[in-house]
Structures are given as C-alpha cells and as structure tokens.
C-alpha cells in the first residue's frame, strides 16, 4: 500500500467525468490495490472522504466516513438521488483545496445506490452530515468541486475563518445580555471542517 499524491484544484483530472468501474474489474487486483491506497491516503490526510479522481484515477470510486463511529466505506459506481427539497447548509473543506473552507447548501437527505468492492449492491438513505459527505464525494466523480457551489462570500482560509470566529466569540462573551444572534457559520466544529 502507498500514500498517493492528491490532485489540487486546477488539475484537469478533477474536472473529468470519471468512468464507471466495469463488472470485470470488481474484486480484481487493480481495483483492490486502488482502494487500499485510497484508504491509506485519506487516513494519512485525516480526511472524511476521498474520490478516485483526487488521486489522479478517473474512475467512479469513493471512500468515505459517514460518522465518527463508523469506519470508512467504499462505494463503487454510486448514484445519489435527493430525497427532499429541504437544504442543509454546512461548512465544507476539500483535500484538493487545502486550507480553505466554504458554506454549501445541499439536499438534506439522499438515497445512495452503489456497489461494494466485491460487487454486492448497497442501498442507503442518509441525512445530515452523512448526506453532505456523500454528495461532496460523489460530485468529484462528475468533475464538480464544492467551490463551484459555495454560498457567495463564504469561502475563506480556514485559519482566518477560525480566527474571526474566535474574535466574534470573545466579543459575545464580553457583552452578556445582548441578544444572541445564532449564526451557524460560526460553529466551525471538527466534523464540519473535515476535508473530503
Ligand atoms: Zn473534495
């Protein structure tokens, strides 16, 4: 196994529509090798997910972690269908856009149809953070990157956004009794910041 180099925004491989994995490839050594390397790479990068185009392989394969308590999943040829018109706005980052974060609003629930690496079918319905990660990763397979979908004016360097959030927090702490204004963008928690 090896840690693979991650393509950064601007590399054309990130903009290609990835090819489906052919049935004959399922369970084969080449695909198994790719999956093992992707799992090692996403672990080393401390990401919530990784799509094969991000490691310069234009195939419809993603690895992703749907929650803190679940291990990494591997999906082959995933197809996502939104299950609601409701949108969930959350702060996203991407291993291919290091150091930056932005707010993206996505369907709050999706159905996932995919294959496991052994070729067996997988059907899932996801909501919340898991639905966001799934959509972020599967977008990569169509050459779409979260920066294409960020809410205007929300994109920034993670360091600066955290500094600003800390300063707002400190200002709030000094002014007790003032009306609390909830701003979800202030809550840059670890889960939201995971690069994917
Ligand atoms: Zn990404």
Q: Give, for all 196 residues of the chain, the pLDDT tens digit.
A: 899 999 999 999 999 999 999 999 999 999 999 999 999 999 999 999 999 999 999 999 999 999 989 899 999 999 999 999 999 999 999 999 999 999 999 999 999 999 999 999 999 999 999 999 999 999 999 999 999 999 999 999 999 999 999 999 999 888 766 555 445 444 454 445 567 8
Residue 139 CB-half CA count within 13 A: 19
Give domain status of residue 6, yes or no: no
Claim to verify: residue 180 and residue 139 sit in the same structural domain: no
Gap from CA of 46 to ligand 1 centroid (Å): 13
According to DSSP, the residues that pair with 130 across neighbouring strands are: none
Claim to verify: residue 147 and residue 166 sit in the same structural domain: no
Tell me phi and psi for residue 91, to 5 degrees: -85, 125
The pTM of this model reads 0.89
Q: Quick one: pLDDT at residue 176?
A: 64
Claim to verify: residue 176 and residue 98 sit in the same structural domain: no
Catalytic residues: 137
Helices of type H across 45-127: none
Q: Quick one: pLDDT at residue 1?
A: 83
Give domain status of residue 3, yes or no: no
Gap from CA of 92 to ligand 1 centroid (Å): 9
Q: How far apart are CA 114 and CA 138, in angstroms?
A: 11
SS3 at position 194: coil
Which class for 133: exposed (0-12), middle (13-18), buried (19 or more C-beta within 10 A)?
A: buried
Q: Quick one: pLDDT at residue 196?
A: 81
| DSSP letter assigned to residue 17 | P
Residue range(s) defining the domain that contains residue 164: 157-187
Q: Quick one: pLDDT at residue 68?
A: 87
Gap from CA of 181 to ligand 1 centroid (Å): 31
Gap from CA of 179 to ligand 1 centroid (Å): 37
Claim to verify: residue 57 and residue 81 sit in the same structural domain: yes
Write the CATH number for 35: 3.90.45.10
Gap from CA of 26 to ligand 1 centroid (Å): 24
Q: Quick one: pLDDT at residue 154?
A: 97
Gap from CA of 137 to ligand 1 centroid (Å): 6
Q: How far apart are CA 183 and CA 39, in angstroms?
A: 34
Q: How far apart are CA 74 and CA 144, in angstroms?
A: 20
Q: E strands of 36-86, at which residues?
A: 49-51, 61-65, 72-82
pLDDT in tens, 118-168: 999 999 999 999 999 999 999 999 999 999 999 999 999 999 999 999 999
Residue 84 CB-half CA count within 13 A: 14
Domain count, the chain: 2
CB 83 within 8 A of CB 42: no
Claim to verify: residue 178 and residue 108 sit in the same structural domain: no
Q: Which residues contact 100 (CB under 8 A, 6 or more apart)?
A: 93, 94, 147, 155, 156, 157, 158
Gap from CA of 103 to ligand 1 centroid (Å): 13
Residue 19 CB-half CA count within 13 A: 7
């Amino acid at each position: 196994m090896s840690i693979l180099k991650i393509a950064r925004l601007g590399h054309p491989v990130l903009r290609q529509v990835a090819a489906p994995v052919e049935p004959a490839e399922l369970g084969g050594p080449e695909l198994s090798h790719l999956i093992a390397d992707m799992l090692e790479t996403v672990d080393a990068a401390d990401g919530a997910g990784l799509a094969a185009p991000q490691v310069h392989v234009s195939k419809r394969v993603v690895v992703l972690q749907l929650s803190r308590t679940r291990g990494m999943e591997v999906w082959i040829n995933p197809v996502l269908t939104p299950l609601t018109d409701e949108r969930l706005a959350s702060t996203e980052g991407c291993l291919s856009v290091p150091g930056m974060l932005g707010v993206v609003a996505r369907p709050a629930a999706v159905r996932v149809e995919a294959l496991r690496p052994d070729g067996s079918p997988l059907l899932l319905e996801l909501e919340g953070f898991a639905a966001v990660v799934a959509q972020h990763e599967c977008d990569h397979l169509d050459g779409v990157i979260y920066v294409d979908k960020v809410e205007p004016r929300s994109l920034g360097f993670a360091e600066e956004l955290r500094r600003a959030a800390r300063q707002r927090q400190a200002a709030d702490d000094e002014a007790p009794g003032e009306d609390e204004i909830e701003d979800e963008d202030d809550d840059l928690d670890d889960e939201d910041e995971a690069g994917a």
